[in-house]
Structure 1
């Protein structure tokens, strides 16, 4: 039994992983950690950095992602979804400092064989992307799938997001993603890639 608290509401999920159909997402349930080589983040550098404001800042990292089965839902009396919640925490290799935190859901639509990746990051940005269900998924989003604060719209707007996640190999997960930004008055393709192994 897992006890989850979201926005003050308590939901008790009992044996969700055995009673609900998560399709190909079932093999993700558990905790994953970066393999020895780690991941690479390429983001727009801050003012005063070595590469200069808006230059490509390359940051090697390691991370932990935990996928938890949660619940199912029906949208507009027609779309049936099952949901896996995930927590992603990313740390710089050079000093072990956490520099990215993400919370979201993978949603499985069995009827239409789609998976949605719905997540938020603590910068005032939330994304919804979708892709064809399978053990390798290419997620894409449109402008309708991006919500962001006025500051981010004006200063560092997200204009697109795509991600490839591949878990065809048992207990191994690889992903690469690009967040298209408009920052410092020009476009920037913020990219991340990593390989993780299932540890429990």
Structure 2
């Protein structure tokens, strides 16, 4: 239930962000795109792994460029809260053949928290298909969330890429402010 979601509780719901900014690699350096995002976070029933207890939100975010209908980015996963150790775990899967599991500690009432993952980590790592691993190798991921006033939250995301034809790593950055446009339903056991 929402009361057990710790710092994730304010994020449950349907959100829209219209001020998204994406700085990504391009042939001649860096390209900047604006984007519009719809982010749906729904509570799930508690999960157990033996003595480990997790509460969470299943999410789907869909991103388009302003005025367009074609998908610019699509992503699914879970935000999980483990109260016993005050740990947030974030999973991400995209239809380009990549997934990751990131984590970070936070207090139950935190309004800012961070999760991170590193390529090669056996627990909080990044896995890509062979093409992405060769051409745009993701070596690190960092996501900072800030719960704002008045039914808003924002994020700043940095994905460190090793692009095949570049000597230096590239910092791919995304950021957006999301405003609540709807409520999520209760988790199945609470319905």
**TM-score (norm: length of structure 1):** 0.81
Which residue of the other structure, out of 65, 69, 90, is the alignment partner of 2:39?
Answer: 65
Q: Is the 8 A contact 1:176 1:192 kept in 2?
A: yes
CA distance, structure 1, for counterparts of residue 127 and residue 35 of structure 2: 26
Residue aligning to 1:167: 147
Q: Structure 1 stretches of 5 or more lacking a match?
A: 1-16, 46-52
Identify the structure with bigger relative contact order (alpha carbons < 8 Å, sequence gap 6+). Answer: 2
Unaligned residue ranges in structure 2 (runs of 5+): 183-191
Q: Deviations over 1:144-198 (max 9, x none)?
A: 2111112221121110000111114240111110111111332211100111111
Q: Which residue among 170, 185, 188 is the counterpart of 1:188?
A: 170
1:154 to 124, 127, 134: 134
Q: 1:114 to 1:54 in 2, by over 3 A?
A: farther
The total of aligned residue pairs comes to: 173
CA drift at 1:94: 5.3
Is 1:44 the counterpart of 2:18? The answer is: no
The aligned counterpart of 2:189 is none
State the alpha-carbon separation in 1 of the partners of residues 64 and 14 from structure 2.
16
Shift in Å, 1:97: 3.1
| Distance in 1 of aligned mates of 2:172 and 2:118 | 17
Instruction: Note the C-alpha offset of 1:21.
Output: 1.4
Runs of 4+ aligned residues of structure 1 deviating over 4 Å after TM superposition are none
Q: Deviations over 1:117-137 (max 9, x none)?
A: 111111111011112232211
Q: Does 1:140 find its partner at 2:116?
A: yes
Aligned: 1:34 with 2:8 = no
SS of corresponding position for 2:149: coil
Contact 2:21/2:32 (8 A) holds in 1: yes
In structure 1, distance between residues paired with 2:136 and 2:116: 20
